[in-house]
Structure 1
């Protein structure tokens, strides 16, 4: 069975993606800072695999903080005990200020926390997980559980598609620097880093969080260039109705925002299509049709 680590999996997008993977036969290592909600999520994830007729998914739930190096090591060790690691999802996040405030008022300790959780911790986890990811036979093992999908990715057609280069290093990442070689698709594992439109747009009060996500984007792009044997995706999931957004902007009515589960089909599309490394958006319309917008 393929194995995934998903951080921040007790609720929101992390939990929704974990449930979808469990239903496809994946074994999971999941974490969150709160033990109670994580334990409840783990029960749901095991049932998701069983409900799909595959038997209960193996789920290791480890409460802890991704900013803690010992906790990160425990996550990777648990994946190794399940047989390896095929997908690492860096989903856990921190705003830096709750509610969000203008940069003039942003607490510096809060910014340090945002950078630690959104940038330093993902890299630390990637460093720990890299040996297992490089040994992964990700694509062959995954195709046993996923229906074949066309490797087609559709441009979003919005203004940002022209203003922002989705992955200026894609050619190097895919061809490993060989100008005459065909596109290189590694058979190792995949890394999915959850980004935000605040990484590329200047929204008032989102400066600290946006700066952290922008750093995560650049870190992901460099990683993709350095590790052509892996797939590295950094994805803006779009607006969602989550506890994180409620904490960021508590006075905003989020009832009309889509639930995190609506984004999951777009993320699965990356897996099914063996998408090349790059920055992707997963707009709600694209998620509903199974299409992924790349920008």
Structure 2
């Protein structure tokens, strides 16, 4: 296994919009080669991806798509950063746990925890070669209990656990980061008809994520708001 590029390589899932797109742009501006994915070509049509970002169209729950992502990493011979950002709220409108069934659970679980788990496993050789970082985008719903957020919150709690267990088992640096509320399409889906213009844009979280990657503290669960305080002190 040989590195074919001296540039740092990142794979950011769910990079056609929101935080994934903002982080992909920022990494490319810093000279990274960035791979990202999204479900359809149309989702990337308005993304205005900069040079240095390669979009791979597909669904992260699809095994052939994941194999395509692994092949793209293998062609570059290294992976310095794996970001699990692709996510789903599940069936909409969101409902209390008493009204969901196993099929609903499977839909959320496959995207939010199943795909990240097996994709990380497939990419361990390249992460290990580059002493890479695994960064999973979590949520405060992983540790708090909000009405109607049960399926999503449980999946994010599981993602936190799997991410940090990978760190324990492999020695890689791994983070689960709660970015806080953001003004994204997914957040709007959670609050249909409500004005969410008071939420910060996802671009506001990127400096904290870059600071985390730059300082590389011990593996663990972090809140972006706490990282901002540390940078300001």
| TM-score (structure 2 length as normaliser) | 0.92
Which whole-Å CA distance do the structure 2 matches of 1:250 and 1:106 have between them? Answer: 19
2:123 corresponds to: 129
Work out the number of aligned pairs and report it: 226
1:155 corresponds to: none
Listed one character per residue, the Cα deviations across residues 175-197 of structure 1 (whole Å, up to 9, x for unaligned) are: xxxxxxxxxxxxx1000011100
Corresponding position: 1:254 with 2:196: yes
Of residues 158, 161, 178, the one that matches 1:236 is 178
Of residues 9, 13, 23, the one that matches 1:7 is 13
Listed one character per residue, the Cα deviations across residues 143-200 of structure 1 (whole Å, up to 9, x for unaligned) are: xxxxxxxxxxxxxxxxxxxxxxxxxxxxxxxxxxxxxxxxxxxxx1000011100000
CA contact (8 A) 1:97 1:107 kept: no
Displacement of 1:252 after TM fit?
2.8
CA contact (8 A) 2:77 2:126 kept: no
How big is the alpha-carbon RMSD for the aligned residues of Structure 1 and Structure 2?
A: 1.6
Structure 2 portions without partners, runs of 5+: 1-6
2:4 corresponds to: none
2:215 corresponds to: 273
Output aligned runs, 1:85-100, within 5 Å: 85-100=79-94
Listed one character per residue, the Cα deviations across residues 186-219 of structure 1 (whole Å, up to 9, x for unaligned) are: xx10000111000000000100100111111111
Structure 1 portions without partners, runs of 5+: 47-56, 137-187
CA contact (8 A) 1:18 1:28 kept: yes
| TM-score (structure 1 length as normaliser) | 0.73
Greater radius of gyration (CA): 1
1:35 corresponds to: 41
Output aligned runs, 1:71-110, within 5 Å: 71-110=65-104
Displacement of 1:39 after TM fit?
4.8
Listed one character per residue, the Cα deviations across residues 70-101 of structure 1 (whole Å, up to 9, x for unaligned) are: 11111121122134211000100011121211
CA contact (8 A) 2:212 2:227 kept: no
Of residues 107, 121, 144, the one that matches 1:201 is 144
Output aligned runs, 1:18-29, within 5 Å: 18-29=24-35
Corresponding position: 1:45 with 2:50: yes
Which whole-Å CA distance do the structure 2 matches of 1:21 and 1:264 have between them? Answer: 9
Which whole-Å CA distance do the structure 1 matches of 2:24 and 2:167 have between them? Answer: 24
2:55 corresponds to: 61
1:215 corresponds to: 158
Secondary structure (helix, strand or coil) at the match of 1:125 reads helix
Output aligned runs, 1:123-202, within 5 Å: 123-136=117-130, 188-202=131-145
Displacement of 1:281 after TM fit?
0.4
Which whole-Å CA distance do the structure 1 matches of 2:27 and 2:113 have between them? Answer: 25
CA contact (8 A) 1:89 1:193 kept: yes
